[in-house]
Structure 1
Amino acid sequence: MSLFRGTVDFYRQYRPGIPQSVASILAGAVPARSPRRLFDIGTGTGLVVEALLCRFDDIIAIDNDADMLSAAESALRPQLPDGACLLLQQVTAEDFLPPLGWQADLVTICRAFHWLDQATVLSRLDAQVSLGGAVAIFGDNSFWTATSPWKAAVRSVIQDFLGEQRRAGASMFQHHNRPYSDIMRESRFNQIEEITVPVTRTWTADSILGYLYSTSFAAPHLFGDCLDAFDRAARRALKQFSDTDVFEEENEFLIRIGRRGRG
Structure 2
Amino acid sequence: MVTTYDPTLFQGAASYYVRYRSRYPQSLFDRIADHFQLSPQERLLDLGCGAGLVAIPFSDRFREVVAIDPDADMLKEAQAEAERTGVNNIHWIHDRAESLSEELGQFRLATFGRSFHWMQRELVAEKLRSLLTDDGGIVILKTGDDPWNSQLPWKKTAISVVKRWLGDQRRTGQAGQGTWKSLDVPHDVVLETAGFTQHTTIEVTFEKTWTVDSYLGYLYSTAFALPSFFGENREEFEADLKKSLFEIESSGNFTEVLSAAALIAQKSK
After TM superposition, list the pairs within 5 Å mapping 1:52-201 onto structure 2.
Answer: 52-80=58-86, 85-99=89-103, 102-141=105-144, 142-169=146-173, 170=176, 171-201=178-208
Q: Tell me by how many angstroms 1:50 deviates.
A: 1.6
SS at match of 2:149: coil
Distance 1:91 1:29 in 2: 29
Could you list the runs of 5+ residues in structure 2 that have no partner in the other structure? Answer: 1-6
Distance 1:133 1:17 in 2: 24
After TM superposition, list the pairs within 5 Å mapping 1:234-245 onto structure 2.
Answer: 234-245=241-252
SS at match of 1:184: helix
Distance 1:2 1:128 in 2: 29
Distance 1:34 1:154 in 2: 43
Q: Tell me by how many angstroms 1:113 deviates.
A: 1.4
- Letter paired with 1:47: L
Contact 1:31 1:132 (8 Å CA) reproduced: no
Q: Larger % of helix: which?
A: 2
**1:120-141 deviation per Cα after TM superposition (whole angstroms, max 9, x unaligned):** 1111100111121110012012
Q: Tell me by how many angstroms 1:64 deviates.
A: 0.4
Could you list the runs of 5+ residues in structure 1 that have no partner in the other structure? Answer: none
Q: Does 1:204 align with 2:211?
A: yes
Q: Tell me by how many angstroms 1:104 deviates.
A: 1.2
Q: Tell me by how many angstroms 1:12 deviates.
A: 1.1
Q: Aligned pair in 2 of structure 1 residues 198, 177: CA closer, same or farther (>3 Å)?
A: farther
Residue of 1, 9, 20 corresponding to 1:3: 9
Q: Tell me by how many angstroms 1:145 deviates.
A: 2.4
Q: Please give the root-mean-square deviation of Cα atoms over the aligned residues, in Å.
A: 1.6
- Letter paired with 1:250: V
**1:17-64 deviation per Cα after TM superposition (whole angstroms, max 9, x unaligned):** 121111112222324335211111111111111211211121100000
Q: Tell me by how many angstroms 1:164 deviates.
A: 0.9
